[in-house]
Structure 1
């Protein structure tokens, strides 16, 4: 088994996440912790990085004000940031180096995502309209 894949797996289990899906060949985990509002969070072990990503919403009305709101909120996010693909889908995303990854880094990223979702949910709903 890939050492870094197994290390991430152990961290997720130690943090009491449900492993909804795991594919070692692709280096992918899909995890849930519904009591913290986290569902279908994707972790990708892509040497030398671990990527944590959560689809949040599709920006249906892409205005400069909407982009400005996202950029301003990015400054408040402790670990990770908003990211967007070409189709207008908005994600939470954070990356880590595999070499020195530890439990605290993964936990901090996932806590940051949970905090973002709890504090910013009304704004996320508005932006997705």
Structure 2
């Protein structure tokens, strides 16, 4: 197990998160904080980068208006961004942080940015998710 993964686990224990799964061999945690809208948030140590990802929703065929709105939401998001997977139909929140000097404030800020974005744009995100038939 790497020092970075140990540091990540220590930081997660200081936050109001529940560890759902730990994959030490992959240096990955899956956490939740349901009251903050955090469900199956993946914290993945990849070399010197922490990749933070949460699936938000499956989308129907996103049209230009949907994509424009998602880009506008990105502009307001403090940390991280909304993105689409390779299929262009799964909406994901993603952020990356340097593991070398990661601290509690930085990790907490990224997770809080996700929670805030979900709260501020819940109605629109739920509408898009319902059109796609699957709310994550």
- TM tier, shorter chain? over 0.9
Q: What residue is the counterpart of 2:125 in the other structure?
A: 124
Per the alignment, residue 48 of structure 1 pairs with: 48
SS in 2 for 1:16: coil
Judge conservation of contact 1:52–1:94 (CA < 8 Å) in 2: yes
Distance in 2, matches of 1:61 and 1:85, equals: 13
Over the aligned positions, Cα root-mean-square deviation in angstroms equals 0.9
Which structure 2 segments of 5+ residues have no match?
132-136
Distance 2:100 2:48 in 1: 7
Q: Which residue of 1 aligns with 2:116?
A: 115
SS at the partner of 1:79? coil
Give TM-score scaled by structure 1 length: 0.96
- Residue number in structure 1 paired with 2:64: 64
Q: Residue 86 of structure 1: CA displacement? A: 2.0
Q: Distance in 1 between matches of 2:117 and 2:63?
A: 22
Q: Normalising by structure 2, what TM-score?
A: 0.91
1:2 aligns with 2:17: no
Unaligned runs of 5+ in 1: none
CA deviations over 1:65-107 (Å, ceiling 9, x no partner):
1111101110000011001112210100000111111111100
